[in-house]
Amino acid sequence: MRKPIIAGNWKMFKTRDEALGFIYNVNMNVPSSEYVDSVVCAQAPILRDLVKRQGDNLKVGAQNMHYLDTGAYTGEVSAPLLENIGVSYVVLGHSERRAYYNETDNEVNKKIHQAFRYGITPILCVGESLELRESGKTNDFIKGQVVVALKGLGSEQIKELVIAYEPIWAIGTGKTATAEMANDTIKEIRNVVRELFDNESAEAMRIQYGGSVKPANVDELLSMSDIDGALVGGASLDPESFLILVNAAVKK
Of 4 and 233, CB closest to ligand 13P: 233
Q: Which stretch binds ligand 13P (CB under 6 A): 64-72, 129-137, 209-217, 218-226?
A: 209-217
Helix, strand, coil tally for the chain in percent (to 5)? 45, 15, 40
Does the protein bind ligand 13P through residue 208 (CB under 6 A)? Answer: no
Task: Name residue 252's amino acid.
Answer: K
Q: How far is CA 226 from CA 39, 45, 179, in A?
A: 20, 35, 10
Output the residue with the shortest Cβ distance to ligand 13P. Answer: 233
Burial 156-195 (b: 16+ CB within 10 A, else e): ebbbbbbbbbbbbbbbeeeebbebebbbebbebbbebbee
- Considering all CA atoms of the chain, what is the largest pairwise distance in Å, rounded to the nearest integer? 47
Binding window for ligand 13P (CB under 6 A); candidates: 29-37, 42-50, 128-136, 225-233? 225-233
**Shortest Cβ distance from residue 34 to ligand 13P (Å)?**
25
Is 160 known to be catalytic? no
Complete DSSP assignment for 194-213: HHHS-HHHHHHSEEEEESS-
**How many positions of this chain bind ligand 13P (CB under 6 A)?**
14
Query: Of 25-33, 102-110, 112-120, 226-234, which segment contacts ligand 13P by CB under 6 A?
Result: 226-234
Q: Please say if 166 is a catalytic residue.
A: yes
Does 233 bind ligand 13P (CB under 6 A)? Our answer is: yes
Give whichever of 154 and 172 is closer to ligand 13P, judged by the CB atom. Answer: 172
Taking CB under 6 A as the binding criterion, the range among 43-51, 145-153, 166-174, 189-197 that sits at the site for ligand 13P is 166-174
Task: Determine how β-strand 206-210 pairs with β-strand 229-232.
Answer: parallel
Which among 96, 128, 166, 188 is annotated as catalytic? 166
In angstroms, the CA 104 to CA 123 distance is: 16
Among 166, 188, 226, 228, binds ligand 13P (CB under 6 A): 166
Instruction: Please give the positions annotated as active site.
Output: 94, 166
Where does this chain bind ligand 13P (CB under 6 A)?
Answer: 9, 94, 166, 171-172, 210-213, 231-235
